[in-house]
Amino acid sequence: MDHIIETTDLTKRYGNTTAVDHISFSVRKGALFGLLGPNGSGKTTMIRMLTGQTRVTSGSASVLGIDVMADPVGIRSLVGIIPEQETPPSFLTAEEYLSFAGAIRKIPDIAEVTSWWFRFLDFEDKRDVLCKDLSRGTRQKLMLAQAFLHRPVLALIDEPLINFDPVMQKKVKEFFVSYVRDGGTIFISTHILEIAEEICSEFAILDRGKLLYTGKTGELAEKKQHLPEFFFSRLQEESHG
């Protein structure tokens, strides 16, 4: 399978509002793909459709060869997901949430796996604390851990670094790069262009539900263009066009 995500004329409407408007693109296996766009451009809606959390209005999409409409639970069994808002259950502890996610995914040796994540993301002292009492950054760490517990072939992450301090951001970026190098695929949605420029191999730009551009960050680098400048110029062209 060369393309791990494929969409054809994918559309999502909420009443009279078109959040995603006839978008066709694909994500190559082994890519660290960045979906970029201003606030409200449709990035989160796109991820929710690809992970089966919200139904498609029209068009089609497949993830790992599975139609998102036909088997959304099947997709979620194979991929890792970090939603835009960190939402672990309030009254479970951090460790319990990972045990719970591990039990649902039938991960063997879950205790060992969770211990590794607590050490790696440096929140071992929070393992027995209720999720509702965790800071936003710690909840984000927890969601990151739950997304990668089962070492998925594909992870879809909405704003992965937004609640992290600079030290943790560096660590997580390095993790993403090495994960992809080891054979995984990561799809991130972000409006922080510097992050995308630093770690993504491919990217797409959305604006007001429409796909403006898809391409490789390497191609921009060859033309000595920076992603932020390219991004703003495409948005301007679109608004004048």
Residues in touch with other proteins (CB under 8 A) = 51, 53-55, 72-74, 76-77, 80-83, 85, 87-93, 95-96, 99-101, 103-105, 111, 128-130, 132-133, 143, 146-147
Place of tokens 């797409």: 204
**Shortest distance (Å) from residue 166 CB to other proteins:** 25
Helix (H) or strand (E) holding 204: strand 202-207
Residue closer to other proteins, measured from CB, 125 or 222: 125
**Between the CA of residue 85 and those of 18, 82, 187, what are the distances in Å?**
22, 8, 17
For the record, the structure tokens of 185 come out as 């695929």
**Shortest distance (Å) from residue 86 CB to other proteins:** 10
**Shortest distance (Å) from residue 15 CB to other proteins:** 11
Place of tokens 């997580």: 172
Residue closer to other proteins, measured from CB, 137 or 228: 137
Residue closer to other proteins, measured from CB, 5 or 144: 144
Amino acid letter for position 198 = E
Rounded to 5 degrees, φ, ψ at 213 are: -165, 145
**Shortest distance (Å) from residue 54 CB to other proteins:** 5
Give the three-class secondary structure for 224. coil
Residue closer to other proteins, measured from CB, 43 or 76: 76
